[in-house]
Amino acid sequence: MLKAYIMKKFYISIISLFILWSCSEINNSNVELFASGAKISGVNGIHFGPDGFLYATSVIGSDISVVDTKSKKIIKRYGPEDGVFGPDDIAFNNEGEFYWTTILTGEVAGFNSEGKKIIAANLGPGVNPITFSDDGRLFVAQCFYDDGLFEVDPLGIEEPRSIKEGLGPYCGLNGMDWGPDGRLYGPRWFKNEVVSLNVDTGEMRVEATGLNVPAAVKFDSNGILHILDTADGKVFKVVDGELVTIANLLTGLDNFAFNDKDEIFVSSYADGSILKVNGDNTEEILPGGISHPGGLAVYKDSLVIADIQSVRSFNINNRNQDWVLRNIFRASPLGANTSAAILDDYVLLTSWVDNTVKILNPENGKIVKSFEGLNIPVSTAKFKDSYAVALHGNSSISILNDDGSLDILSDDFDSPTHVIPYKDGLLVSDRNRGEVAMISSSGDKNILISGLDSPEGIAVIEDTIFVYEGDTGEIKSIFDNKISVIANLSAGSPAASPLQPPSMVFNGIVAHKGNIYATDEMKRSIYKISP
């Protein structure tokens, strides 16, 4: 499927960037931090190791963070330089060796006692949950891109054994655990239930129903089954076949883990947080917030940020987060958005991940209209009585009508990236050509700026055009044909395929009251720039 392939390349591209990314702080005198975010770019699977530390995976961040839950610090990271790419879930065997899954490549891998990477299997996109049985057998399942369940040889010598297929739709099991009864337990994301399986015969039985979107299961030391529901933001335990709520949290959760005291720790892919929970009381082990910001827009006196698995709003005056909407992956109308723009009293959200343009009512958080099946849309802007959308799929700026039909306004682009209203027409950045062009209402194109490196986000203050160079992180101003670098932020995510926009996660800028606001996706932060 095209969408699955695009998603795969999306994360692989982010992975490659982390090899090159420098963690040095910004020291521009005219740049100030507006809002900072999470320590991890979305936390997925978590598991306590035999050393007592919590191991946390991040698909987007492409690393495994080792967290000291007592000091609340990350003490070590395993990343691409160690052979870790886009890890989704993690498990330990009886020898204390850990293994992980890479959802978008299908790799199942681990480190042996000598620190050498072992590739146990390559099962194709979708490999997600992972767990060991008490006697050291390794099991993995597929979720979101396939729906099979497999036993895998940890040494990678024997071929993987298929236990059961067709556990979906779209997702087999997620967040699995080995039960005290010798059965494998796991939630069915789209079936609203938890099941267990005999891994030798494939026989399956239902263990819990009436859930919303169950994301993970775990057993405590007493053998009591616990369930995490990401759509409800709740942790349940199963008592005499009934669900008993033991924690009410936020939505957008991914997984959870017990330490040796049966204390519960929960991860969030939407916020990038790790929480220790005791009933409704929570303790931040790692704070959440901005996880991977893309495009942004000004709505009244607030900045609205497309943060992939969330949409966030920050008050410009006091810099407080006004609100946040969290996506429930593949189960929420919000979707995974990478660009934002203003449409009168609404917000236009663009997602090349989902191939959609959506209209959000920020007052109630509802999606009032959704345009589906677009050809890799990168950004959208209001244009007269319709919408102008930059489509990577056919290298065009097209007019999106209210009935969902499209009319090509201009296809004289390589990689149309950011489109914004400008005078009586549109201003468009072309990342590959290094140009910024003006498009008239009749489709006439006039190149205003050329010779740029990799222009992504664009903004205008009076007669000055500002450009975010994606490959370098430079913010440039262009006035009277003179180009000046006014700030240096982090370079953005590179693309790895012509099927995805070269901008990857949209590096956005927006002008407001004489200042420029810019997203720094790699530092999970927003900066205010005084030109």
pLDDT (tens digit, 9 = 90+) per residue, 257-288? 999 999 999 999 999 999 999 887 899 999 99
**pLDDT value for 61:** 84
Domain boundary among 263, 286, 309: 286
Q: Please indicate, yes or no, whether residues 440 and 453 belong to a single structural domain of this protein.
A: yes
Q: Which of 74-88, 343-357, 454-468, 491-505 has the lowest mean pLDDT?
A: 491-505
Do the domain assignments include residue 131?
yes
Query: What local confidence, expressed as pLDDT, does residue 483 receive?
Result: 95
Find the range with the poorest average confidence among 15-24, 74-83, 281-290: 15-24
272 with 296, same domain? no
Please report where in the chains the tokens 């194709």 appear, as a residue. Answer: 124
Let me know: does 192 contact 210? Beta carbons within 8 Å.
yes
Domain annotation covers residue 262: yes
Regarding whether 246 and 98 lie in a shared domain, the answer is yes
CA torsion through residues 368, 374, 379, 384, sign: negative
Residue 16 lies in a domain: no
Q: What is the pLDDT of residue 330?
A: 75
One domain, residues 500 and 375: yes
Judge contact between 73 and 67, C-beta under 8 A. yes
The CATH number covering residue 200 comes to 2.120.10.30
Residue 21's pLDDT is what? Answer: 38
| pLDDT score recorded for residue 503 | 87
Assign 7 to helix, strand or coil.
helix
Same domain, yes or no, for 142 and 108?
yes
Residues 258, 165: one domain? yes
pLDDT of 27 > 70? The answer is no
Cα first-last separation, the chain: 44
Domain boundary, last residue among 286, 304, 323: 286
Task: State the pLDDT at residue 333.
Answer: 94
Last residue of some domain: 256, 286, 316?
286
CA dihedral 341, 343, 345, 349 (to 10 degrees): -50
Same domain, 253 and 314: no
Average pLDDT on 27-55 reads 93
279, 294: one domain: no
Q: How far from chain centre, in Å, is Cα 44?
A: 10
Q: What is d(CA 119, CA 395) in angstroms, rounded to the nearest whole number? A: 39
Percent of the chain exceeding pLDDT 70 equals 94
Residue 73 included in any domain? yes
- pTM for the model stands at 0.86
Q: How confident is the model at residue 192 (pLDDT cuts 50, 70, 90)?
A: very high
Is the pLDDT reported for residue 29 higher than 90? no
Q: From residue 100, how far is each of 13, 160, 266 by CA, in Å?
A: 19, 15, 18
**Does residue 4 carry a pLDDT above 50?**
no
Is residue 140, in this structure, part of any structural domain at all?
Answer: yes
Residue 474 in this model has a pLDDT that exceeds 80? yes
Residue 258 lies in a domain: yes
The more confident residue out of 28 and 82 is 82
Q: What is the mean pLDDT of residues 72-97?
A: 95
What is the tally of structural domains in the chain? 2
Residue 53, in any domain of the structure: yes
Q: Is the pLDDT of residue 48 over 90?
A: yes
CB 253 within 8 A of CB 215: yes
Among 133-142, 323-332, 355-364, 463-472, where is mean pLDDT lowest?
A: 323-332
For residues 189 and 338, membership in a common domain is answered with no
pLDDT over 80 (residue 531):
yes
Contacts of 318 (CB under 8 A, 6+ apart): none
- Strand 193-197 relative to strand 204-208, pairing: antiparallel
Please check whether residues 98 and 147 belong to one and the same domain.
yes
The parent domain of residue 157 ranges over 41-286
Query: What is d(CA 144, CA 347) in angstroms, rounded to the nearest whole number?
Result: 28
- Give the model's pLDDT for residue 495: 66
| Full 3-state SS string of 239-255 | ECCEEEEEEECCCCEEE
Cα–Cα nearest to 439, from 464, 413, 407: 413
In a domain, 8, yes or no: no
Statement to judge: residues 266 and 295 lie in one domain: no
Mean pLDDT computed over 480-497: 86
Question: pLDDT, tens digit, for every residue of 323-374?
Answer: 999 998 778 999 999 999 999 999 999 999 889 999 999 999 999 999 999 9
Q: What's the confidence (pLDDT) of residue 303?
A: 97
Are 476 and 352 within one domain? yes
